[in-house]
Amino acid sequence: MSGGPAPAAGQLSSAAGGADDATITFVLVAYNSAEAFRQSLPALARELRPGDGVVVVDNASSDDSVAVVHELCPGATVIDGGGNTGFAAGANTGAAAAGGDLVVFLNPDATVQPGFGAAIRQPLVDARGWDAWMALVTAEDGAVINTSGNLVHFTGIAWAGQAGRPVAEADAAPHEVAYLSGACLVAPLDVWRRHGGFPERYFMYHEDLDFSLRVRLAGGRVGIEPSARVDHDYDFVKGPAKWRHMERNRLSMIVRLYPASLLLLVLPALVATEAALIVVAAAGGWGREKLIADVQWLRELPRLLAQRRVIQRGRRIGAAELARWLTPELSSAFLGPLARFAPLQLALRIYWAGVRALLR
């Protein structure tokens, strides 16, 4: 699957028609996930209803991930991913084998909480018109928020909303979000396939952002169902390779998805961001990864531009509407003290206000 656009705005059109008996295929991508599965699979098995299914794509695990799946979820379909192809490709492989009304992507270390099965169907029951949605993702045994809906800066820097805040601060009402977290991402299966799934060349990181914004570009809506909860054994630090993937994919996403008028107006900010990130990366010990990411992105540019033409032809909203879901704030605790520098924040707000005024 290429992660291309839907031909028209995606709408909820599953066979369930909004019924609370919609069937779900849960897709999990495994990579040395045996320990995580021992925690998460028993909880998931308790939420399964007749007609639901579990598909596990194993990306060349060297532990006993597959054996644990067969032990704890004997009805699951296990697919050999053919090597470590990454989360995006693994998720697409699992979804290709899915059936039923909804597909739910879960990280192996995301444990569904009691009542999840009913709660995650609620957007269909309420006929909200959402094309995709997510659960409230918690951490530390439900004490804090992992993400209550992800946020994306207009320079493409993205992060988990309200990460680390007490779970009581999460909005209890269902609402739209800027983009969905791949830790627990839900879509009607026909909508998922119409939008082409995740961009596989991303390998991991930002594939959920790319999918969410493609849904929006096609005129669709994405939201969060806070009554559905999963607890995520989350650790932000994943090594230098994480920075390489995130930077390459951030730039790839901007090239693929930003309408021309938006891209032109944020170009000065993008150039300034690149200069700043080179300094930040060097100081943070991941300068080599940043350089590799830039080289990889530049090599991919012809292919990205070809994808861009296809995606933009399928766009159903204007640049101003997409910009409404981007933010000038750098509110993530993971972005460091520079992001919280008051003069920088003020300059970003003024710049973005000007961009949005011009787009209107």
Q: Is residue 2 part of a domain?
A: no
Same domain, 187 and 279: no
Q: Which of 83-92, 227-236, 334-343 has the lowest mean pLDDT?
A: 334-343
The per-residue pLDDT for range 267-302, each reduced to its tens digit, is 999 999 999 999 989 988 999 999 999 999 999 999
Same domain, 218 and 279: no
pTM of the model: 0.92
Same domain, 265 and 300: yes
pLDDT at 328 over 80: yes
| Residue 238, pLDDT score | 63
How many domains does the chain fold into? 2
pLDDT at 88 over 80: yes
Last residue of a domain, one of 232, 260, 292: 232
Task: Report the CATH number that the domain containing residue 45 is assigned in CATH.
Answer: 3.90.550.10
> 241 or 27: which carries more pLDDT confidence?
27
Q: Is residue 308 part of a domain?
A: yes
Last residue of a domain, one of 232, 262, 295: 232
Same domain, 214 and 347: no
pLDDT at 255 over 90: yes
Print the domain residue range for 285: 240-359
Same domain, 228 and 246: no
Q: Quick one: average pLDDT of 20-36?
A: 95
Question: How far, CA to CA in Å, does 166 sit from each of 170, 173, 337?
Answer: 8, 16, 22
Same domain, 249 and 334: yes
Same domain, 165 and 286: no
Q: Is residue 16 part of a domain?
A: no
d(CA 323, CA 327): 8
The per-residue pLDDT for range 184-205, each reduced to its tens digit, is 999 999 999 999 999 999 999 9
Last residue of a domain, one of 182, 214, 232: 232
Closest CA to 154 of 342, 316, 329: 329
Same domain, 212 and 266: no
Which two three-digit tokens encode residue 169? Answer: 């601060």
